[in-house]
A and B are shown apart, each in its own frame.
Chain A
Amino acid sequence: MTNKRSLVDVINPEIRDFLVEMGAEDIYKCYQCGKCSSICPWFQVGTYDFPIFRLSLETALGMVASSEDKKELEEEVDKLYRCVGCEACVDQCPHGINIPNILRAARRLLVDFGSYPDILKSIVQKIHDVGNPLGEEREKRSDWAKQLNVPNFQPGIEYLYFACCIPSYDPRVQNVAQATVRILQKSGCSFGILGVQENCCGEAIRRIGAEKVFKEVTKANISSFESAGVEKILVTSPHCYTSFKNDYPEFGANFEVFHITQYFSGLIEKGKIQPIKRFDKKVVYHDPCNLGRQNGIYEEPRNILRNIPGLELLEVENFNRSLSVCCGAGSGALWMEWEKDERIGDIRINQLVDTGAEIIAVACPYCLQMFEETIKSMELNIEVMDVAEILWESIG
């Protein structure tokens, strides 16, 4: 928001009411303390002005994305899409205000009127048309499992393993799904996949603001899960976890959802799998926002890593667990392109590299992709592995 216009000119109660109707009701709780801004990763980036504490006030005044000047409006819309939905602010706000939700109210209106970044439009389109953000063929969704003898889910099988779109298609990340399946097979777990009947969980597009398409894919998923008789779901992605566990119940779903690290940690505790091979590396664990802060799963991935012989587990002091900094890929940001010096991923990678680790352990396909891209662009010498990949190396 620029200060070129007088405040009286821009106050617009109608816009405020419009946004409150779309889910921004938290705005009235904000007392402008600014705590949210101090924790927001954009504050650490420092080169892009993102004073998020002002947003509740601006929304209450009806000043969001409201400029009628083309250039100014572009900047305002860009600002709305800078939030990576990490919810660090939600965690810190004394009044529990959900700022990404306030932003999402505006995003929903903009999406309905085709007024959001083209790259995100194409992601929403791909998820709608072929069920994944990569635009890959639906028929190839289970190709990653071809050599692995994974049964199709059917009644009598205990768990549905939902691999997420990126591990299903991306040649690098497929290895995560494959390692996961191998561990599950070794443990004797009863599981199957749904392959072509799966759609993207829709977490990212809901956060982009494409609520209508989100509802469509959600209903399609719920119906194919239910008609296959699915009750329990194992997920690789914390984003799928959030969707299935927190978002889908709004639409009548009632699945028991487990992140794969919860399940593996349990298998180790019960002695059903034993990491025995040494993994003599220094490993730093990065808490994915959707797994840690948003769903309280901090211990299980660490427990897996601690059980691997030879592995030295490192922490990012001051910026781990609930204070972990986002990889920069949430809420659609994985697909956005920002200036070289305006990237959250760079900040986080530096914190991880500074621990002296040889390997960054992640438990989220978005974090994996984002970090690998960041490492390439920064020409760093550090490797990224999913916790499941490390565990399989120690078992397999």
Chain B
Amino acid sequence: MDIIVCIKRVPQTAEAKVEIESSGKDIVKDRLTFDINESDTYALEEAVLLKEKFGGTITVISLGCSDADDTLRIALAKGADTAIRIKAEDFDELDGYKTAQLLSAVIKDIHFDVIFTGCIATDDAYSQIGATLAELLGIPHATLVTNIEVIDSISHVHRELEGGLQEHIEIFLPALFTIQTGINVPRYASLIAIKRAAGKEIKLVGQNEISKDQLLLNTQIEELFIPPVAKQVKIITGSPGEVSEELAGIIREKGLI
């Protein structure tokens, strides 16, 4: 079974103080660390589990600048056989649609049975790539996959719906799945695999291989901003008389009575 996994290197912002850069269209990234997107690690692990069961190959693809090579190398150490980086620096501004076009331009020349992506990127949260890429390649897809079993070219897939519901669907391969976190337990890389990955070549694809002419940008970021604090908490202190007087004043002022 030949599997393709699309991965993305994203800034880690859970603990960091996020600031908007002067263009107003991106965040300041120079103080941030980067890592593989969370749901992509589960997508990669799902690929490795399928490969362990059925044999075949895993190709990881990432659209990114040279730093993304580190992320691809981690994927190689965790079980991928081949890594391809689409040189983001060659393709100017990007959005979900253009990213999917670039991925499909590379993937159309590779044999595959399954494509995995993470269900959402933690940086832009578009959740577009999987479905758009499947459409561009003309293959079926399922999103938010929490379980997958392949029997004779048919995949039995569980999807996570709102309210704790699960949907069970069957899809003929080749197909694309966007993987939800928690579907498996991602593995560590062994030192042997790390050593092997360190010496592996990462194939680069740029504007010489993909014509920029037909690439379309569907969306443009107008502005990125930190929302103003919507609710404010005011703690009123003082004697019960003072507190109730101030409280009554606020209620009156806001026109609530």
Is the beta-carbon distance between B36 and A15 smaller than 8 angstroms? no
Given contacts A125-B33, A130-B16, A109 and B191 within 8 Å (CB-CB): yes
Contact of B191 among A18, A122, A126 (CB under 8 A): A18
Q: Does A310 contact B (CB under 8 A)?
A: no
- Give the interface segment out of B118-126, B192-200, B213-221: B192-200
Q: Is the interface of A mostly helix, strand, loop or mixed?
A: helix
A121 (CB) vs chain B CBs: closest residue: B35
Question: Which residue of chain A is the closest to B48 with respect to CB atoms?
Answer: A70
Cβ-closest 5 pairs across A and B: A115-B188, A129-B16, A129-B15, A115-B189, A113-B189
Q: Is the CB of A125 within 8 A of B15?
A: yes
What separation, in Å, do the CA atoms of A68 and B191 have in the docked complex?
Answer: 9
Cross-interface CB contact of B17 among A62, A113, A114, A129, cutoff 8 Å? A129
Is B32 an interface residue when CB atoms closer than 8 A count as contact?
A: yes
Please indicate the chain B residues that have their CB under 8 angstroms from the CB of A125 in the complex: 12, 14-15, 33
A residues in contact with B43, CB < 8 Å: none
Residue numbers in A under 8 Å from B15 (CB-CB): 122, 125-126, 128-130, 135
Instruction: For A62, list chain B residues within 8 Å (CB).
Output: 191
Q: Which of A70, A106, A122, A125 has the most CB of B within 10 A?
A: A70
Asked whether A267 is an interface residue with its Cβ less than 8 Å from the other chain, the reply is no
Per DSSP, chain B at the interface is loop
Contacts of A67 in B (CB 8 A): 190
| Chain A: interface size category | 20 to 34
Tell me whether A66 and B16 are in contact in the complex, defined as CB-CB below 8 angstroms, given that A14-B195, A128-B33, A129-B32 are known contacts: no
Are B12 and A110 in contact, CB atoms less than 8 angstroms apart? no
Q: Would you give the 0/1 interface string for A85-119, flagging 1 where the beta carbon is closer than 8 Å to chain B?
A: 00000000000000000000010011011111000
Partner of B193, one of A68, A116, A128: A68
14 sampled A-B residue pairs with Cβ under 8 A: A14-B195, A15-B191, A15-B195, A64-B191, A66-B190, A66-B191, A73-B187, A74-B187, A109-B191, A114-B35, A114-B36, A125-B12, A129-B15, A129-B32
Across-interface contacts of A137 in B (CB, < 8 A): 17
Contact with A along B151-188 (1 / 0, CB 8 A): 00000000000000000000000000000000000011
Indicate if A65 sits at the interface (CB-CB under 8 A). yes
Q: Does A334 contact B (CB under 8 A)?
A: no
How many interface contacts (CB-CB < 8 Å) are there between A and B?
A: 76
Q: Is A213 an interface residue (CB 8 A)?
A: yes
Instruction: Give every chain B residue within 8 A of A77 (Cβ-Cβ).
Output: 188
Q: With the chains together, A14 CA to B193 CA distance in Å? A: 11
Name the residue of chain B whose CB is nearest to the CB of A19: B191
Chain B interface residues (CB < 8 Å from chain A): 12, 14-17, 31-33, 35-36, 73-74, 77-78, 187-195, 197
Q: Within 8 Å CB of A154, what residues of B?
A: none
1-50 of chain A: CB within 8 A of chain B: 12, 14-15, 18-19
Chain B residues contacting A135 (CB-CB under 8 Å) are 15
Distance in Å: Cβ of A7 to nearest Cβ of chain B: 15
Residue among B12, B78, B190 with max Cβ neighbours from chain A (10 Å): B190
List the A side residues contacting B193 at CB < 8 Å: 68
CB nearest neighbor in B for A16:
B191
Known: A66-B192, A113-B74, A122-B15. 8 other contacts (CB 8 A): A12-B192, A66-B191, A73-B188, A113-B194, A115-B188, A116-B188, A125-B15, A125-B33
Q: How far is the CB of A247 from chain B (nearest CB, A)?
A: 21
Give the residue name and chain of the A residue nearest to B197 (CB): A113
CA distance A12 to B196 in the complex (A): 12
- Chain B residue numbers with a CB within 8 Å of A64 are 191
Give the chain B neighbours of A73 by CB distance below 8 A: 187-188, 190
Which chain A residues numbered 191 to 238 have a C-beta less than 8 Å away from chain B?
A: 213
Q: In the assembly, what is the distance between CA of A167 and CA of B31, in Å?
A: 26
- Complex CA distance for A70 and B187, rounded to whole angstroms: 6
B54 to chain A, nearest CB (A): 17
Tell me the smallest distance from the CB of A267 to a CB of chain B, in Å. 39
Least CB separation from B31: chain A residue: A129
Q: Please, how many angstroms separate the alpha-carbon atoms of A12 and B194 in the complex? A: 13
Shortest CB distance B113–A (Å): 22
B77 to A: closest C-beta gap in Å: 5
Q: Which residue of B lies closest to A15 (CB)?
A: B191
Cα(A135)–Cα(B13), bound, Å: 12
Q: Which of B33, B35, B197 contacts A129 (CB 8 A)?
A: B33
